[in-house]
Chains A and B, each alone.
Chain A
Amino acid sequence: MQLDKKIIGHEFKAFSAVAEAGKVRLFCKAIGEEDPIYLDEAVAKKAGYARIPTPPTFLQAITNDDPEKGGLLKLLNVDIGLILHGEQHYDYYAPVYVGDRITCQQKVVDLYDKKGGALWFVVSETSMKDQAGKLVAKATGITVVRNPDAAKK
């Protein structure tokens, strides 16, 4: 299989997802986060937050709430077992609070290969806006794909 640089610039269908309280609790349990500001509105308000904030990397749970999840894999036409996460970067402009409805728009910004085409690197950016239309975060991810042909050898 060959890289198809034509996918650079591809924009995925935008979607919106709500930062749900129960999901935040489960996320905190999984990462071992016990700070009550993520669980208890009274504690969050006492700490100066308008509402319950979400942990910094909870943004991933929001971007994963895509009804057309797996769009990148479909675009690349590769199996999920062949991908690894290379890098992830977040820029935060404002906290995302429990109850916020976040609109995510992901696009492919770069694509390159290493090791003679054995590994592909797909760079994508996702802008995240809240219900008021304010940009609250930008997510930049690098997905590493093991080239199916190279993986077979």
Chain B
Amino acid sequence: MATVPKFSEVKVGDAITPIVLPPITRHQLALYCGGSGDHNPIHVDLDFAKKFGFKDVFAHGMLSMGFLGRLVTSYAPRDRIRKLGTRFTSITWVGDVITLQGKVTGKREEGGEKLIDLEVRCTNQNGQDTLQGHATVAAA
């Protein structure tokens, strides 16, 4: 479990320990369909995906954002998360191996809190970013 980062010890450029995920499976997309309530068939129904011009089903962007949430909560506890945001920059396909990475981009004080800004991303096995995000956590 993550401990609260100490503001004085954190340096811009510090990296979060990367997480390499197991390959994305169709089963995982079905679980996320139910768990998230995003029932868009394009993520679980191959016939539907093909009808709209896709070669296969593909992962929900928000599944990958859930991975970014895991990365950020591996760095700071859940109740310390102030912001999490992302752009979805390319499609994540079944079988893709995603690596989660992050680093500290800034430190600041705002509203009486000591904040740490992070850049976070999901990258596939070809080195292409699928999500380019940012987060802010409150330090001690």
Interface residues in chain A, defined as those with a beta carbon under 8 Å from any beta carbon in chain B: 23, 26-33, 35, 37, 47-49, 53, 55-57, 60-61, 64-65, 69, 80-92, 95, 140, 151
Contacts and interface: CB of A to CB of B under 8 A. Distances in A.
A83 B62 CA distance: 14
B69 A30 contact: no
Contact of A31 (B1, B32, B42, B83): B32
Nearest to A49: B79
B28 to A, nearest CB: 6
Contacts of B84: 56-57, 89-90, 92
Contacts of A151: 53
Interface string B111-130: 00000000000000000000
Interface string B67-89: 11110110001110111111110
Nearest to B86: A88
A74 B6 CA distance: 48
Contacts of B15: none
B81 to A, nearest CB: 5
Leading 10 A-B pairs by shortest Cβ distance: A64-B37, A89-B85, A31-B66, A81-B52, A27-B35, A30-B31, A26-B35, A56-B69, A85-B61, A30-B32
Q: Of A28, A47, A81, A82, which is in contact with the most chain B CB atoms at under 10 Å from its CB?
A: A81
B48 A81 contact: yes
Given A55-B69, A80-B40, A60 B62 contact: yes
B38 A90 contact: no
Contacts, number: 121
Contacts of A89: 83-86
Chain B: interface size category: 35 or more
B87 A26 contact: no
Given A37-B78, A88-B65, A27 B85 contact: no
Nearest to B137: A92
28 contacts: A26-B34, A27-B36, A30-B35, A30-B36, A30-B66, A31-B32, A31-B67, A31-B69, A33-B70, A35-B1, A37-B78, A53-B79, A55-B70, A57-B62, A57-B68, A60-B65, A61-B36, A64-B37, A64-B38, A65-B37, A81-B41, A87-B88, A88-B62, A88-B65, A89-B84, A90-B85, A91-B83, A92-B84
Nearest to B87: A87
Given A30-B63, A55-B73, 20 more contacts: A26-B31, A28-B35, A29-B31, A30-B36, A32-B22, A37-B1, A47-B1, A47-B77, A49-B79, A64-B38, A65-B37, A85-B88, A87-B85, A87-B87, A87-B88, A89-B83, A89-B86, A90-B83, A91-B82, A151-B53
A92 B61 contact: no
